Amino acid sequence: MSLKDQINDDMKTAMRARETERLGTIRLLLAAIKQREVDDRVTLDDAGVTAVIDKMIKQRKDSVSQFQAAGRDDLVAKENAELAVLAAYMPEQLSADAIAAEVQAAVAATGAAGPQDMGKVMGVLKPKLAGKADMTAVSAQVKAALAK
């Protein structure tokens, strides 16, 4: 079963169980997936759906920090609930050690020698780690590895 089919099934389950908050988040996710499909005129595979989910998670995290700064605890709770629903559809995140191993392998494979080669290394890592790791953390590890 594809990730998109699983999301559709979860929407039906949430409807039957009358879980309004979860249903609302799933509907937002399906709308974002449909919008991306219409804009790009493609049918998204699991990797494309994961990219949409990842983008929505980043938006929610940004909203949480903004709402916390404004003292809006009610909206922080709502965004955190949406984050929990969205995170359930993401693949399991890699550990810091696994990310470090991937970074070292990519640096060795590309023959990167310094900070100017960061684009090469990230170009190799992004397809492998997209959705499985926070790319800002990966970028920081690549910078540290190339600075040595």
The residues that bridge with 133 in the sheet, in sequence order, are 130
The answer to whether 25 touches 48, Cβ cutoff 8 Å, is no
Q: Which residue has the tokens 């290394």?
A: 121
The reported pLDDT for the residue numbered 72 is 95
Which two three-digit tokens encode residue 145? 């590895």
The answer to whether 32 touches 82, Cβ cutoff 8 Å, is no
The reported pLDDT for the residue numbered 8 is 96
CATH topology of domain 96-147: Arc Repressor Mutant, subunit A (1.10.10)
Which option is the CATH number for 3-87: 1.10.3720.10, 3.30.1490.270, 1.10.1510.10, 1.20.120.420?
1.10.1510.10
Eight-class DSSP state of 91: P
The reported pLDDT for the residue numbered 37 is 96
Which residues of the chain fall below pLDDT 50?
Answer: none
Q: Report CA-CA distances (Å) from 99 to 26, 91, 132.
A: 30, 15, 9
Domain locations along the chain: 3-87, 96-147
Q: Report the distance separating Cα 122 and Cα 106, nearest Å.
A: 8
Q: Report CA-CA distances (Å) from 137 to 26, 38, 78, 108, 142.
A: 27, 31, 26, 19, 9
Q: What pLDDT digit, counting tens, does each position of 103-142 carry?
A: 999 888 888 888 888 888 999 898 888 778 888 888 889 9
The reported pLDDT for the residue numbered 114 is 81
